Structure 1
Amino acid sequence: MSDTNGSDEFDVDDEDDVSARERLEAEADRAVTEFDDGVVDLLAWVLDTETRARIYVYLRQHPDSTSEEVAEGTGLYPSTVREALAQLHEEGTVDRHKRESAGAGNNPYAYEAIAPSSLVRGVVGQVQEQLNTVFNLDRQLRDTDDEDPETEPVRITVEDDEN
Protein backbone atom coordinates (compact mmCIF):
# COMPACT_ATOMS: atom_id res chain seq x y z
CA MET A 1 0.00 0.00 0.00
CA SER A 2 1.11 3.56 -0.62
CA ASP A 3 0.26 6.86 0.95
CA THR A 4 -0.30 10.07 -1.00
CA ASN A 5 3.46 10.62 -1.29
CA GLY A 6 3.91 7.24 -2.96
CA SER A 7 5.83 5.71 -0.05
CA ASP A 8 5.01 2.28 1.32
CA GLU A 9 2.70 2.22 4.28
CA PHE A 10 4.59 -0.75 5.79
CA ASP A 11 8.08 0.78 5.89
CA VAL A 12 10.43 -1.01 8.29
CA ASP A 13 12.11 1.35 10.67
CA ASP A 14 15.80 1.28 9.67
CA GLU A 15 16.92 1.80 13.26
CA ASP A 16 15.01 -1.27 14.47
CA ASP A 17 16.39 -3.28 11.53
CA VAL A 18 20.00 -2.32 12.35
CA SER A 19 19.48 -3.02 16.05
CA ALA A 20 18.05 -6.48 15.33
CA ARG A 21 20.89 -7.25 12.94
CA GLU A 22 23.48 -6.14 15.52
CA ARG A 23 21.85 -8.35 18.18
CA LEU A 24 21.85 -11.33 15.82
CA GLU A 25 25.50 -10.76 14.90
CA ALA A 26 26.46 -10.45 18.58
CA GLU A 27 24.64 -13.72 19.39
CA ALA A 28 26.30 -15.45 16.43
CA ASP A 29 29.73 -14.22 17.58
CA ARG A 30 29.01 -15.42 21.12
CA ALA A 31 27.90 -18.85 19.85
CA VAL A 32 31.05 -19.22 17.73
CA THR A 33 33.25 -18.18 20.65
CA GLU A 34 31.54 -20.67 22.97
CA PHE A 35 31.88 -23.38 20.32
CA ASP A 36 35.58 -22.57 19.82
CA ASP A 37 36.14 -22.61 23.60
CA GLY A 38 34.42 -26.00 23.83
CA VAL A 39 36.57 -27.41 21.03
CA VAL A 40 39.73 -26.07 22.68
CA ASP A 41 38.67 -27.61 26.02
CA LEU A 42 38.13 -31.00 24.38
CA LEU A 43 41.38 -30.79 22.46
CA ALA A 44 43.22 -29.73 25.61
CA TRP A 45 42.19 -33.08 27.09
CA VAL A 46 43.37 -34.94 23.97
CA LEU A 47 46.58 -32.93 23.48
CA ASP A 48 47.44 -32.46 27.19
CA THR A 49 47.40 -28.64 27.34
CA GLU A 50 45.33 -25.68 26.21
CA THR A 51 48.41 -24.21 24.53
CA ARG A 52 48.84 -27.26 22.32
CA ALA A 53 45.09 -27.28 21.59
CA ARG A 54 45.13 -23.62 20.53
CA ILE A 55 48.09 -24.29 18.24
CA TYR A 56 46.32 -27.32 16.72
CA VAL A 57 43.13 -25.33 16.04
CA TYR A 58 45.11 -22.45 14.53
CA LEU A 59 47.00 -24.83 12.22
CA ARG A 60 43.76 -26.50 11.11
CA GLN A 61 42.46 -23.05 10.16
CA HIS A 62 45.78 -21.80 8.74
CA PRO A 63 47.80 -24.69 7.32
CA ASP A 64 51.36 -24.03 6.14
CA SER A 65 52.03 -21.49 8.93
CA THR A 66 55.40 -20.74 10.48
CA SER A 67 55.95 -20.70 14.23
CA GLU A 68 56.01 -16.90 14.12
CA GLU A 69 52.64 -16.81 12.35
CA VAL A 70 51.18 -19.27 14.87
CA ALA A 71 52.46 -17.15 17.78
CA GLU A 72 50.98 -14.00 16.28
CA GLY A 73 47.67 -15.70 15.45
CA THR A 74 47.23 -17.35 18.85
CA GLY A 75 48.69 -14.63 21.05
CA LEU A 76 51.12 -17.11 22.60
CA TYR A 77 54.79 -16.39 23.26
CA PRO A 78 56.99 -17.38 20.29
CA SER A 79 59.26 -19.53 22.49
CA THR A 80 56.21 -21.37 23.86
CA VAL A 81 54.93 -21.98 20.33
CA ARG A 82 58.31 -23.24 19.09
CA GLU A 83 58.61 -25.68 22.00
CA ALA A 84 55.04 -26.96 21.60
CA LEU A 85 55.43 -27.32 17.81
CA ALA A 86 58.60 -29.36 18.29
CA GLN A 87 56.76 -31.71 20.67
CA LEU A 88 53.67 -31.93 18.45
CA HIS A 89 55.88 -32.71 15.44
CA GLU A 90 57.78 -35.38 17.37
CA GLU A 91 54.46 -36.98 18.38
CA GLY A 92 53.16 -36.86 14.79
CA THR A 93 50.34 -34.40 15.53
CA VAL A 94 51.73 -31.80 13.12
CA ASP A 95 53.72 -32.18 9.94
CA ARG A 96 56.42 -29.73 8.94
CA HIS A 97 58.39 -28.84 5.86
CA LYS A 98 60.77 -26.09 4.82
CA ARG A 99 58.95 -23.12 3.31
CA GLU A 100 60.62 -21.95 0.13
CA SER A 101 61.39 -18.26 0.01
CA ALA A 102 62.40 -16.22 -3.01
CA GLY A 103 65.05 -14.20 -1.22
CA ALA A 104 68.33 -15.20 0.30
CA GLY A 105 68.29 -16.30 3.88
CA ASN A 106 66.81 -18.90 6.12
CA ASN A 107 63.81 -20.91 4.96
CA PRO A 108 61.59 -21.39 8.04
CA TYR A 109 59.60 -24.49 8.80
CA ALA A 110 55.91 -24.38 7.92
CA TYR A 111 53.50 -26.53 9.92
CA GLU A 112 50.21 -28.28 9.24
CA ALA A 113 48.05 -30.16 11.76
CA ILE A 114 46.95 -33.70 11.02
CA ALA A 115 43.26 -34.38 10.37
CA PRO A 116 41.02 -34.67 13.45
CA SER A 117 40.18 -38.29 12.57
CA SER A 118 43.89 -39.16 12.66
CA LEU A 119 44.26 -37.33 15.96
CA VAL A 120 41.37 -39.29 17.47
CA ARG A 121 42.74 -42.60 16.17
CA GLY A 122 45.93 -41.96 18.11
CA VAL A 123 44.02 -41.42 21.35
CA VAL A 124 41.54 -44.26 20.90
CA GLY A 125 44.11 -46.99 21.57
CA GLN A 126 45.02 -45.47 24.91
CA VAL A 127 41.39 -45.02 25.97
CA GLN A 128 40.49 -48.52 24.83
CA GLU A 129 43.37 -50.02 26.84
CA GLN A 130 42.36 -48.13 29.99
CA LEU A 131 38.70 -49.17 29.66
CA ASN A 132 39.68 -52.81 29.18
CA THR A 133 41.88 -52.63 32.29
CA VAL A 134 38.84 -51.51 34.27
CA PHE A 135 36.65 -54.24 32.77
CA ASN A 136 39.27 -56.87 33.60
CA LEU A 137 39.99 -55.50 37.09
CA ASP A 138 38.42 -58.49 38.86
CA ARG A 139 40.73 -60.94 37.14
CA GLN A 140 43.76 -58.80 37.98
CA LEU A 141 42.73 -58.38 41.61
CA ARG A 142 42.13 -62.11 42.12
CA ASP A 143 45.51 -62.81 40.51
CA THR A 144 44.18 -66.04 39.04
CA ASP A 145 46.25 -68.24 36.82
CA ASP A 146 43.55 -68.63 34.20
CA GLU A 147 44.80 -69.94 30.92
CA ASP A 148 42.32 -67.70 29.10
CA PRO A 149 43.95 -64.71 27.46
CA GLU A 150 42.86 -61.37 28.80
CA THR A 151 39.63 -60.38 27.10
CA GLU A 152 39.06 -57.02 25.49
CA PRO A 153 35.37 -56.24 25.85
CA VAL A 154 35.84 -52.66 24.64
CA ARG A 155 36.74 -52.00 21.02
CA ILE A 156 36.64 -48.48 19.65
CA THR A 157 36.83 -47.76 15.94
CA VAL A 158 37.11 -44.44 14.17
CA GLU A 159 35.82 -43.96 10.66
CA ASP A 160 36.66 -41.09 8.35
CA ASP A 161 33.75 -38.92 7.29
CA GLU A 162 34.23 -38.41 3.57
CA ASN A 163 31.72 -35.55 3.24
Structure 2
Amino acid sequence: MSENPQPDEETDEPSSARERLEEGADKAIGEFDQGVVDLLAWLLDTETRARIYVYLRQHPDSTSEEVAEGTGLYPSTVREALAELHDEETVSRGKRESEGAGNNPYEYEAISPSELVSGAVGQVQNQLNAVFNLDERLSRGDEGNDEGPVTISVTGAGATETDGDADDEVDDDGDTPTAADAEDE
Protein backbone atom coordinates (compact mmCIF):
# COMPACT_ATOMS: atom_id res chain seq x y z
CA MET A 1 0.00 0.00 0.00
CA SER A 2 1.31 3.43 -0.83
CA GLU A 3 1.31 6.36 1.61
CA ASN A 4 -0.08 8.77 -1.01
CA PRO A 5 -3.18 7.06 -2.33
CA GLN A 6 -4.26 8.04 -5.83
CA PRO A 7 -7.82 9.23 -6.33
CA ASP A 8 -10.21 6.43 -7.04
CA GLU A 9 -11.11 6.48 -10.72
CA GLU A 10 -14.78 5.94 -9.91
CA THR A 11 -15.02 8.98 -7.59
CA ASP A 12 -12.50 11.07 -9.54
CA GLU A 13 -11.91 13.49 -6.64
CA PRO A 14 -9.99 16.22 -8.54
CA SER A 15 -12.70 16.38 -11.21
CA SER A 16 -15.38 16.36 -8.52
CA ALA A 17 -13.75 19.31 -6.79
CA ARG A 18 -13.56 21.17 -10.09
CA GLU A 19 -17.21 20.39 -10.75
CA ARG A 20 -18.17 21.68 -7.30
CA LEU A 21 -16.26 24.91 -7.93
CA GLU A 22 -17.91 25.34 -11.33
CA GLU A 23 -21.33 24.64 -9.83
CA GLY A 24 -20.62 27.22 -7.12
CA ALA A 25 -19.58 29.77 -9.74
CA ASP A 26 -22.68 29.01 -11.83
CA LYS A 27 -24.86 29.39 -8.73
CA ALA A 28 -23.23 32.74 -7.84
CA ILE A 29 -23.75 33.99 -11.41
CA GLY A 30 -27.33 32.72 -11.36
CA GLU A 31 -28.00 34.48 -8.04
CA PHE A 32 -26.45 37.68 -9.41
CA ASP A 33 -28.55 37.40 -12.57
CA GLN A 34 -31.66 36.72 -10.50
CA GLY A 35 -30.86 39.77 -8.36
CA VAL A 36 -30.64 41.92 -11.48
CA VAL A 37 -33.87 40.44 -12.82
CA ASP A 38 -35.57 41.11 -9.47
CA LEU A 39 -34.45 44.74 -9.52
CA LEU A 40 -35.51 45.14 -13.13
CA ALA A 41 -38.85 43.49 -12.31
CA TRP A 42 -39.36 46.22 -9.73
CA LEU A 43 -38.59 48.90 -12.35
CA LEU A 44 -40.51 47.24 -15.18
CA ASP A 45 -43.44 45.87 -13.15
CA THR A 46 -43.02 42.13 -13.87
CA GLU A 47 -40.33 39.46 -14.07
CA THR A 48 -41.51 38.64 -17.60
CA ARG A 49 -40.82 42.18 -18.77
CA ALA A 50 -37.47 42.15 -16.94
CA ARG A 51 -36.41 38.91 -18.63
CA ILE A 52 -37.36 40.34 -22.02
CA TYR A 53 -35.41 43.53 -21.29
CA VAL A 54 -32.27 41.58 -20.29
CA TYR A 55 -32.56 39.35 -23.35
CA LEU A 56 -32.84 42.37 -25.65
CA ARG A 57 -29.83 44.02 -24.02
CA GLN A 58 -27.86 40.85 -24.76
CA HIS A 59 -29.41 40.28 -28.22
CA PRO A 60 -30.42 43.60 -29.80
CA ASP A 61 -32.52 43.53 -32.98
CA SER A 62 -34.33 40.33 -32.01
CA THR A 63 -37.81 39.41 -33.18
CA SER A 64 -40.56 38.45 -30.77
CA GLU A 65 -40.11 34.83 -31.85
CA GLU A 66 -36.38 34.97 -31.05
CA VAL A 67 -37.11 36.58 -27.67
CA ALA A 68 -39.66 33.87 -26.85
CA GLU A 69 -37.21 31.13 -27.80
CA GLY A 70 -34.33 32.77 -25.91
CA THR A 71 -36.28 33.42 -22.71
CA GLY A 72 -38.47 30.33 -22.68
CA LEU A 73 -41.60 32.49 -22.44
CA TYR A 74 -44.77 31.86 -24.42
CA PRO A 75 -44.75 33.73 -27.76
CA SER A 76 -48.12 35.39 -27.02
CA THR A 77 -46.80 36.60 -23.64
CA VAL A 78 -43.69 38.02 -25.32
CA ARG A 79 -45.70 39.79 -28.03
CA GLU A 80 -48.01 41.39 -25.46
CA ALA A 81 -45.13 42.48 -23.22
CA LEU A 82 -43.15 43.86 -26.18
CA ALA A 83 -46.17 45.90 -27.28
CA GLU A 84 -46.48 47.38 -23.78
CA LEU A 85 -42.73 48.03 -23.50
CA HIS A 86 -42.80 49.71 -26.92
CA ASP A 87 -45.75 51.91 -25.90
CA GLU A 88 -43.79 52.91 -22.78
CA GLU A 89 -40.70 53.61 -24.93
CA THR A 90 -38.63 51.01 -23.06
CA VAL A 91 -37.97 49.19 -26.32
CA SER A 92 -37.81 50.46 -29.87
CA ARG A 93 -38.79 48.48 -32.92
CA GLY A 94 -38.23 48.53 -36.63
CA LYS A 95 -38.98 46.26 -39.55
CA ARG A 96 -36.36 43.60 -40.25
CA GLU A 97 -34.93 43.98 -43.72
CA SER A 98 -35.13 40.83 -45.78
CA GLU A 99 -34.17 39.91 -49.29
CA GLY A 100 -37.22 39.18 -51.40
CA ALA A 101 -40.90 39.22 -50.76
CA GLY A 102 -42.45 37.98 -47.56
CA ASN A 103 -43.16 38.88 -43.99
CA ASN A 104 -40.74 41.35 -42.43
CA PRO A 105 -41.16 40.97 -38.67
CA TYR A 106 -40.36 43.68 -36.16
CA GLU A 107 -36.94 43.71 -34.52
CA TYR A 108 -36.76 45.05 -30.98
CA GLU A 109 -34.00 46.80 -29.04
CA ALA A 110 -34.10 47.81 -25.38
CA ILE A 111 -33.13 51.28 -24.20
CA SER A 112 -29.91 51.60 -22.23
CA PRO A 113 -29.92 50.91 -18.49
CA SER A 114 -29.05 54.56 -17.82
CA GLU A 115 -32.13 55.67 -19.80
CA LEU A 116 -34.24 53.17 -17.88
CA VAL A 117 -32.98 54.52 -14.55
CA SER A 118 -33.43 58.13 -15.64
CA GLY A 119 -37.04 57.43 -16.53
CA ALA A 120 -37.73 56.04 -13.06
CA VAL A 121 -35.96 58.75 -11.06
CA GLY A 122 -38.78 61.33 -10.95
CA GLN A 123 -41.37 58.74 -10.03
CA VAL A 124 -39.24 57.25 -7.23
CA GLN A 125 -38.35 60.72 -5.91
CA ASN A 126 -42.03 61.72 -5.72
CA GLN A 127 -42.93 58.48 -3.94
CA LEU A 128 -40.14 58.91 -1.38
CA ASN A 129 -41.19 62.50 -0.72
CA ALA A 130 -44.80 61.36 -0.27
CA VAL A 131 -43.64 58.92 2.40
CA PHE A 132 -41.40 61.54 4.00
CA ASN A 133 -44.34 63.96 4.19
CA LEU A 134 -46.86 61.32 5.31
CA ASP A 135 -47.73 62.96 8.64
CA GLU A 136 -48.23 66.37 7.02
CA ARG A 137 -50.28 64.81 4.23
CA LEU A 138 -52.50 62.96 6.72
CA SER A 139 -53.16 66.15 8.68
CA ARG A 140 -54.09 68.21 5.59
CA GLY A 141 -55.92 65.48 3.69
CA ASP A 142 -54.99 64.61 0.13
CA GLU A 143 -54.45 68.25 -0.87
CA GLY A 144 -51.16 69.89 -1.68
CA ASN A 145 -47.97 68.62 -3.22
CA ASP A 146 -45.34 66.23 -2.01
CA GLU A 147 -42.23 68.32 -2.54
CA GLY A 148 -39.67 67.39 0.01
CA PRO A 149 -36.08 66.95 0.94
CA VAL A 150 -35.41 63.88 -1.23
CA THR A 151 -33.69 64.71 -4.49
CA ILE A 152 -32.42 62.06 -6.85
CA SER A 153 -30.28 62.88 -9.85
CA VAL A 154 -28.57 60.72 -12.42
CA THR A 155 -25.07 61.88 -13.19
CA GLY A 156 -23.19 60.30 -16.06
CA ALA A 157 -23.80 56.93 -17.61
CA GLY A 158 -24.76 54.54 -14.86
CA ALA A 159 -23.91 56.66 -11.81
CA THR A 160 -26.94 57.41 -9.66
CA GLU A 161 -26.75 59.77 -6.74
CA THR A 162 -29.32 60.17 -3.99
CA ASP A 163 -29.10 62.98 -1.53
CA GLY A 164 -31.44 64.06 1.24
CA ASP A 165 -29.91 67.56 1.27
CA ALA A 166 -30.40 69.23 -2.10
CA ASP A 167 -28.25 72.22 -1.02
CA ASP A 168 -25.10 70.13 -1.44
CA GLU A 169 -25.97 69.05 -4.96
CA VAL A 170 -25.43 71.03 -8.16
CA ASP A 171 -26.63 70.00 -11.61
CA ASP A 172 -24.97 70.56 -15.01
CA ASP A 173 -26.28 74.15 -15.19
CA GLY A 174 -24.67 75.03 -11.84
CA ASP A 175 -28.10 75.24 -10.19
CA THR A 176 -29.51 73.26 -7.34
CA PRO A 177 -31.86 70.70 -8.93
CA THR A 178 -35.50 70.56 -7.94
CA ALA A 179 -38.24 67.94 -8.18
CA ALA A 180 -39.44 69.71 -11.33
CA ASP A 181 -36.00 69.20 -12.89
CA ALA A 182 -36.21 65.47 -12.24
CA GLU A 183 -39.65 65.33 -13.85
CA ASP A 184 -38.35 67.17 -16.91
CA GLU A 185 -35.58 64.63 -17.51
TM over 0.5, shorter chain? yes
Q: Does 1:153 align with 2:116?
A: no
- Residue-by-residue CA offset, 1:95-139 (whole Å, 9 max, x unaligned): 111111113211111111111111111112111101111222333
1:69-118 Cα shifts (integer Å, max 9, x gaps): 00001111111100100000100111111111113211111111111111
Aligned to 1:52: 49
Runs of 5+ in structure 2 lacking a partner? 1-5, 160-185
What secondary structure, in the 3-state scheme, does the structure 2 residue paired with 1:134 have?
Answer: helix
Amino acid at match of 1:48: D
2:126–2:146 CA contact under 8 A, matched in 1? no
Q: Normalized against structure 1, the TM-score is what?
A: 0.81
CA distance, structure 2, for counterparts of residue 151 and residue 43 of structure 1: 26
What amino acid is the match of 1:108?
P
Runs of 4+ in 1 over 6 A off after TM superposition: none
Q: Secondary structure at the match of 1:34?
A: helix
Structure 1 or 2, whichever has the larger Rg, is 1
Q: State the secondary structure of the residue aligned to 1:96.
A: strand
- Equivalent position SS for 2:103: coil
| CA–CA distance in structure 1, aligned partners of residues 146 and 34 of structure 2 | 40
Q: Does the Cα contact within 8 Å between 2:129 and 2:146 map onto a contact in 1?
A: no
Deviation at 1:150, TM superposition (A): 6.1
Q: Is the 8 A contact 2:52 2:78 kept in 1?
A: yes
Unpaired runs of at least 5, structure 1: 1-11
Question: CA contact under 8 A between 2:113 and 2:158: conserved in structure 1?
Answer: no
Give the structure-2-normalised TM-score: 0.72
Point out which structure has higher relative CO (alpha carbons under 8 A, 6+ apart): 1
Residue correspondence of structure 1 range 53-72 to structure 2 within 5 A? 53-72=50-69
Identical residues among aligned pairs (%)? 71
- CA RMSD after TM alignment: 2.4
* Distance in 1 separating the partners of 2:154 and 2:138: 31
